Amino acid sequence: MKTKVLKLVALFAALIMALNIMAGCGSTSGDKTSDAETSSKATTPAEETKDAKDPAEDTTPITLKVFLKNELNWDTPVGREITKKTGITLDFVPIAGDAQEKLNLMLASNDMPDIVSIDRWSDANSKYIKSKAVIPLDDLMEKYGPNVKSQLGDTLKKVLNEDGHLYGIPSWFSSEVQPSPVFGFLIRMNYVKELGYYEKYTSKGYFTKDEFLSLLKDWKAKYPNINGKDTLPVTINQDNYSGARYTFMGMYAIGSYYEQDGKLRDNVYNPAYKEMFMFMNQLYREGLLDKDWPVNKTALWNEKMSNGYVLCAPDAYWNAGANSVLAKDANGNETPDNMFYPFKVVADGVDPQKTTYGPTSVLGWLFTYITSANKYPERTMKFLDYLISEEGQYITQWGPEGLFWEMKDNQRTIKEDSLEELKKDFWTAIGDNGIRKYEIVFKSGIAQDGKPYDLWAEYSQNYGTKDPVAEFAKQYLGDSAWDTTLYDNLGPAAGTPEALISTKISDIGKNMEPKIILAKTQEEASQLYDQMVADMEKAGLAKVEEIVNANFAKKRELWGN
């Protein structure tokens, strides 16, 4: 009897199982949850599903690790205000050394922060993109970056990678070229006036080549020596020789490349480039150029200028360290005319409006990326979108409203009671508060309220003591600014055989150019120039030009022109 009962129980259990299987086979997809859904529900807590937020609205506190070339502290009025608005706190990667080396180390070790900001000219940009250490931002921008898209505007196409994707958001970018002077012939203003050349300059806004030569010769004739030293009409800082070369290139309206028959050629093929070196050689042969310039270190260059026996030094206008000495006399009286001011000199046959003294780029100085290690790419894009918005720019570049500024007539206006603190020490005042420090995504130019995005631009223009040298540069060299963006970064990629060839070509130029300038005769200078070109061609210049033109074609296609 017991055995019979056990058999009945087993039979009943088997029947129940069979009925369950049949019921499962007969059900429709709408009647039963799929295995995938079951698995998903099993691994997602009910509370998380219920409380999940759209990244566009989420302000849950999180911390993002950031690499910026300067180590910064987030615990400032600016940092706290941004955290209050976004829920995000930034933790900056310690650098303790060279920023480029740190970037290479992070890439090699795969120890990545959430955000990296890289100098626009660094080869680390291409390394990070090609290694997929940073992610494309196209889809994220479409979903969570309306301000990124609108603030970049037409500049957006200029930051696309060669594969057509957006990876880095520029910082210190602008919608259009700003009238920003850079290079010029730095000349002592007191002598320009004393020798009767000031009116010649201001009447038209530039010196012709012949006027410039006459000024140098007249000064040398009147002042053969000063303070026991033979005078130097022109000297060059060898430590920054490129600054002098760019100044002379500006005079001859020479850009990044020589465009010939629809192709980009190296500037050595530009007749104006050779003419430029012949003029530099002329200055030397006529005793107008410091014969010892190839050994001028920055300190020695500034010393010569400070001691009063130099008239002119071609360079970026802000590099004249001697001006800090010359600005006042021994009694502390201001002597602004004793300083070096940047002048525009125009070569024969060059349109003064087409000189190239002010190379600049609408893309600014940095590119900011979201790394593949970032666990919150949507939140991060929304964070960057806030920073780049008008409100975000006001906070990061001017500080929180009420700190140094207030809204009057729909415009940011520096508060009266803040002016004294700013005038006392502007940079310390803003630095301690985090203003202009977090340059992850900064915009230049004029904001929607009609005021500059940059607090320094507003303060220096309207409240601060104006720098007469900078004002002179803006007045006479601002129109010489030109956008280099289309021609930037066209050379071979780092680490390629062609990159080594490019370096060798550059070294040939560095070796030969001083010899050309210091040649004893014009014929010798011309022969040395031709030899330089031949050596570059032998080193493989044609291969580099081929890559430059291929990259140029890709860039133009991306830009739609």
Per-residue model confidence as pLDDT tens digits over 89-132: 999 999 888 899 999 999 999 999 999 999 998 989 999 999 99
Are 390 and 455 contained in the same domain? yes
Nearest Cα to 390, choosing from 436, 457, 442, 455?
A: 442
pLDDT score, position 36: 34
- Give 246's pLDDT tier (boundaries 50, 70, 90): very high
Are 166 and 192 contained in the same domain? no
Are 330 and 205 contained in the same domain? yes
Q: What is the pLDDT of residues 415-431, one digit of tens each?
A: 998 998 898 889 988 98
Q: What is the pTM of this model?
A: 0.84
% of the chain at pLDDT higher than 90? 80
Statement: residue 471 has pLDDT above 90: yes
Are 189 and 285 contained in the same domain? yes
pLDDT score, position 29: 37
pLDDT score, position 52: 58
Looking up residue 348, the CATH number of its domain turns out to be 3.40.190.10
Are residues 266 and 509 in contact, defined by beta-carbon separation less than 8 angstroms?
A: no
* Assigned domain for 27 exists: no
Domain end residue (candidates: 477, 511, 539) = 477
* Per-residue 3-state assignment (H helix, E strand, C coil) for 446-482: ECCCCCECCHHHHHHHHCCCCCHHHHHHHHHHHHHEE
pLDDT score, position 461: 84
* Assigned domain for 11 exists: no
Torsion-angle region of 380 (φ positive above 0: left; ψ -120 to 50: alpha; else: beta) = alpha
* Assigned domain for 31 exists: no
Domain end residue (candidates: 456, 477, 498) = 477
Are 469 and 508 contained in the same domain? no
Are 511 and 444 contained in the same domain? no
From residue 328, how far is each of 227, 341, 345, 470 by CA, in Å?
A: 18, 15, 27, 17
What average pLDDT does the structure give for the chain? 90
Kindly provide the b/e burial profile for residues 42-81, where b requires at least 16 CB atoms within 10 angstroms of the residue's own CB.
eeeeeeeeeeeeebeebeeebebbbbbbeebebebbbbeb
Q: Please give the Cα distance from 8 to 2 (Å, whole number).
A: 10
Q: What is the pLDDT of residues 316-333, one digit of tens each?
A: 999 999 999 999 999 999
pLDDT score, position 132: 97
**Burial class of residue 199, CB neighbours in 10 A (0-12, 13-18, 19+):** exposed
Q: What is the pLDDT of residues 523-554, one digit of tens each?
A: 999 999 999 999 999 999 999 999 999 999 99
Domain end residue (candidates: 446, 477, 508) = 477
Statement: residue 16 has pLDDT above 80: no
Structural tokens at position 406: 């207030």
pLDDT score, position 55: 73
- Give 69's pLDDT tier (boundaries 50, 70, 90): confident
Are 190 and 168 contained in the same domain? no
Task: Please give the average per-residue pLDDT across 442-452, as a whole number.
Answer: 96
Are 428 and 350 contained in the same domain? no
% of the chain at pLDDT higher than 70? 90
Q: Please give the Cα distance from 343 to 311 (Å, whole number).
A: 12
* Assigned domain for 18 exists: no
For residue 316, give the H/E element and its range.
strand 310-316
Are 206 and 349 contained in the same domain? yes
- Give 143's pLDDT tier (boundaries 50, 70, 90): very high
**Burial class of residue 325, CB neighbours in 10 A (0-12, 13-18, 19+):** middle
Task: Please give the average per-residue pLDDT across 224-243, as a whole number.
Answer: 96
Domain limits at 415?
62-176+362-477
Tell how far CA 29 is from the center of its chain. 57
Are 376 and 469 contained in the same domain? yes
Q: Name the least confident of 350-359, 415-424, 471-480.
A: 415-424
Q: Please give the Cα distance from 173 to 365 (Å, whole number).
A: 8
* Assigned domain for 459 exists: yes
Q: What is the pLDDT of residues 356-373, one digit of tens each?
A: 999 999 999 999 999 999
Tell me how many domains the chain contains.
3
pLDDT score, position 403: 95
* Assigned domain for 429 exists: yes
* Assigned domain for 511 exists: yes
Tell how far CA 181 is from the center of its chain. 15
Structural tokens at position 211: 């006027």
* Per-residue 3-state assignment (H helix, E strand, C coil) for 54-81: CCCCCCCCEEEEEECCCCCCCCCHHHHH
Are 158 and 262 contained in the same domain? no
* Assigned domain for 2 exists: no
Q: What is the pLDDT of residues 261-274, one digit of tens each?
A: 989 999 999 999 99
Task: Please give the average per-residue pLDDT across 259-288, as a whole number.
Answer: 98
- Give 454's pLDDT tier (boundaries 50, 70, 90): very high
Are 115 and 199 contained in the same domain? no
Statement: residue 12 has pLDDT above 60: no
pLDDT score, position 71: 78
Statement: residue 30 has pLDDT above 90: no
